[in-house]
Amino acid sequence: EVQLVESGGALVQPGGSLRLSCAASGFSFRGYAMSWVRQPPGKGLEWVSTISGSGGTTFYSHSVKGRFTISRDTSKNTLSLQMNSLRADDTALYYCAKGDGYNLWRPIDYWGQGTLVTVSS
Amino acid sequence: QSALTQPASVSGSPGQSITISCTGTSSDVGGYNYVSWYQQHPGKAPKLVIYDVSNRPSGVSPRFSGSKSGNTASLTISGLQAEDEADYSCSSYTSSATVVFGGGTKLTVL
């Protein structure tokens, strides 16, 4: 059974940093692209970032490029998102998500339950 | 990258069919057959119901179907059931090597 368990969400001040983690199990981690998708309270889904199966290629939305860094540790089956220079509009539930293939354009077939990031002073 | 355009809400009675549209541009929906649809019940994680425009994942009811014409993709749910009441979001791969979601559509089963 595929399981994705996020952690690391917290209340952080504007300009601060936070690192999210996602523990993956139940599938061959290195074979699939992994993504972070966020959902602001009461709003729609927003793609944040994707990393290829090998970890060699990363993709970012325009709104987070240069501030967020996605990475994966295949030895620990863990996906991470380092978030710097946080702003109020980064406030959202952050989902860890598994692609159904190696590349960015593959759909997301499994989602975690999300971890809440709140940026406020 | 602007979000794909979806109606804010649609509704239908049990047994009826409804269609939700998802409009983009030639740089996303119109340019690739990489449109997906997700169902999300309140307080729950999204669930994939359609991928690559018209393919259904294993276990998804055949009442769900997808199509595309030009820059607009559509999700049709036939034989509406109470359990179909949820938010539905489309997504597409883009020419900028990003992914874009629609704003989401709230489906109400009357």
Chain B interface includes A27 (CB < 8 A): no
Question: In the β-sheet with B72-77, what is the strand arrangement from edge to edge?
Answer: B18-23, B72-77, B64-69
Number of H helices, E strands in chain A: 0, 11
Of A61, A95, A113, the CB nearest to B98: A61
How does the average pLDDT of chain B come out, rounded?
Answer: 96
- Provide, rounded to the nearest whole percent, the portion of chain B with pLDDT above 70: 99
Please tell me the predicted confidence (pLDDT) of residue A98: 97
Tell if the CB–CB gap between A112 and B45 is shorter than 8 Å. yes
Return the closest-CA partner of residue B92 out of B71, B106, B61.
B71
How does strand A68-73 pair with strand B47-50? unpaired
Closest B-chain CA to A51:
B98
Of B1, B46, B48, the CB nearest to A45: B46
Please tell me the predicted confidence (pLDDT) of residue A54: 85
Q: Over 80: is that where the pLDDT of B1 sits?
A: no
What integer is the mean pLDDT of B101-109?
A: 97
Of A45, A61, A62, the CB nearest to B89: A45
Q: How far is CA A3 from the centre of its chain?
A: 15
Tell if the CB–CB gap between B48 and A108 is shorter than 8 Å. yes
| pLDDT tens-place string over residues B56-93 | 999 999 999 999 999 999 999 999 999 999 999 999 99
Tell if the CB–CB gap between B98 and A45 is shorter than 8 Å. no
Closest A-chain CA to B28:
A105
What integer is the mean pLDDT of B93-103?
A: 95
Residue B40 near residue B47, CB atoms below 8 Å: yes
Tell if the CB–CB gap between B104 and A45 is shorter than 8 Å. yes
Return the closest-CA partner of residue A110 out of A120, A97, A92.
A97
Query: Which portions of chain A are predicted below pLDDT 50?
Result: none
The residue among B19 and A31 whose pLDDT is bigger is B19
Please tell me the predicted confidence (pLDDT) of residue A56: 87
Please tell me the predicted confidence (pLDDT) of residue B2: 83
Please tell me the predicted confidence (pLDDT) of residue A105: 87
Of A47, A112, A113, the CB nearest to B100: A47
Tell if the CB–CB gap between B45 and A95 is shorter than 8 Å. yes
